[in-house]
Every structure is written in structure tokens, then in C-alpha cells.
Amino acid sequence: MRLTLKIWRQPDAATAGAIHTYEVDEISEDMSFLEMLDVLNEQLNSEGEEPIAFDSDCREGICGMCGLMINGEAHGPQVTTTCQLHMRSFHDGETITVEPWRADAFPVLKDLVVDRGAFDRIIQQGGYISVNTGAAPDAHATPVPKDNADRAFDAATCIGCGACVASCPNGSASLFVGAKITHLGELPQGQAERDSRVVNMVAQHDHEGFGGCTNIGECTAACPKGIPLDVISQLNRDMLTAIKHGH
């Protein structure tokens, strides 16, 4: 495959960026999108040009580091992570535009790399439970109804990639926060801090500059782990309950 790539280049956070155009050839349809970028970077190295910076770690769809806007879609044309997107999803001779996540709360650090530290700070404000450590309890010591356990596991699959924010017209992280709220709120261990958790996490969400949710649904449509939209409803219910309780 021969491709034309229009890629966002930005030397650092303080310098304005721009789209640069590159040509790549002999791209196998079995390559992942990141492997294709690796081929481009080898080409740039051989030409004495600085390679394109992009994030990746596991390359197995687990860590969420690899998020890119590809032809205006979070992670590209398939509902998966960028590292699991393969070049068979594109056509020979196609022009592909590659950009970083676009959100005020995700400032560009260099090229396609953004700072997603805002997610970490939201987690620090309540994405945990306080329990006594020590020997592991027996598996049946704290019974959890199956429906609650299943919903908690579904919400816990969120990998924090940021596709929900990048695809949302408002730049909202409500799907991410809702997933964390739902994950812990469905479990007995998460009840003690349930009210303070939602209040603190939502306050940090707003402080970071994420937008408000208007239930457009682009977030769940782009989510590579299929986090359902109803976790935002859970977030809103928990927030109203916390306010009712005086938080």
C-alpha cells in the first residue's frame, strides 16, 4: 500500500503546530497503525528528520496510551484502540489525517503526544476505596449480587484512553468519570466514600476544564471498551444523592 499521511507536528507545548505531509510506500495491510508510523519514523530517521512523537506502551489494546484522531475519528474507523487498528481498514492510495486528541484538558506536549494527567488527578480525588490491608479475605466474605458484579466489571474495563473526551463536541469526560463512579458504587467496599467520591471527582473534572455532558452519545460510540452511556446517568444520580445528603 502507498499512503499519503497528513500529520500534526508540534515541537513543544509553547510552539504552534501545523499539518505536515508525508508519503509512505510498501505498507502491509497486516501492519497495525502504530507499526505503519514506525515505518514512517524509520524513513524520517534515514532522511535526517526528527521522527514523529506518539504515545504507546502495551500495543495490545490494554493501556490506552495510543489514542489518536485518525481522519477525524477517535482511534480511527474501527471501534478499537489505535494500536489494534490495522492498515486493512484503509485503501491503497488513501490520504490519512492524523492528529492528537483535541481537548483543552489534554494539552499537546509534542506532535501527537498529549498530557492526560487530568485523568490521573480525577482518580486521585476519589477513584479508590479505603480498606484495611493485610491477608486477603475469603472470596465469599463479602457477597456481591451477580448483576452488581457484572455491571462493576463492565465499568471497570475503562482504560482511560480519552477517546470519549476527544470525540465529545463539549470535551466532556463524563463517560470516564461515570465509569469510575459506577465501578466502585456497585460494590459493597465502595459505599463508605460514595458521596464524597462523586462530589470530589466531579469538582476535579470541572476544575481541569472538561466540558459538560449534553448526552450526545459520541463518547460511548467511540469508546474502544464499549462503556455504556448509562454510567453517566449513574454519575448524575450519585451526584444528586450526595447533594441531598449535604455534601
Q: Which domains does the chain have, with CATH numbers?
A: 3-109 (3.10.20.30), 116-130+141-244 (1.10.1060.10)
How does strand 3-9 pair with strand 73-74?
Answer: unpaired
Please say whether the beta carbons of 246 and 198 come within 8 A: no
Per-residue pLDDT of the chain (247 residues; tens, 9 = 90+): 999 999 999 999 999 999 999 999 999 999 999 999 999 999 999 999 999 999 999 999 999 999 999 999 999 999 999 999 999 999 999 999 999 998 999 999 999 999 999 999 999 999 888 877 777 777 778 889 999 999 999 999 999 999 999 999 999 999 999 999 999 999 998 999 999 999 999 999 999 999 999 999 999 999 999 999 999 999 999 999 999 998 7
DSSP lists the bridge partners of residue 86 as 32
3-state secondary structure 99-138: ECCCCCCCCEEECCEECCHHHHHHHHCCCCCCCCCCCCCC
* Maximum CA extent, the chain: 63
pTM: 0.93
Please say whether the beta carbons of 172 and 213 come within 8 A: yes
Q: Which three cell numbers stand for residue 195?
A: 458521596
Q: Which three cell numbers stand for residue 77?
A: 474507523
Q: Provide the phi-psi class of 136: left if phi over 0, else alpha when psi is between -120 and 50, else beta.
A: beta
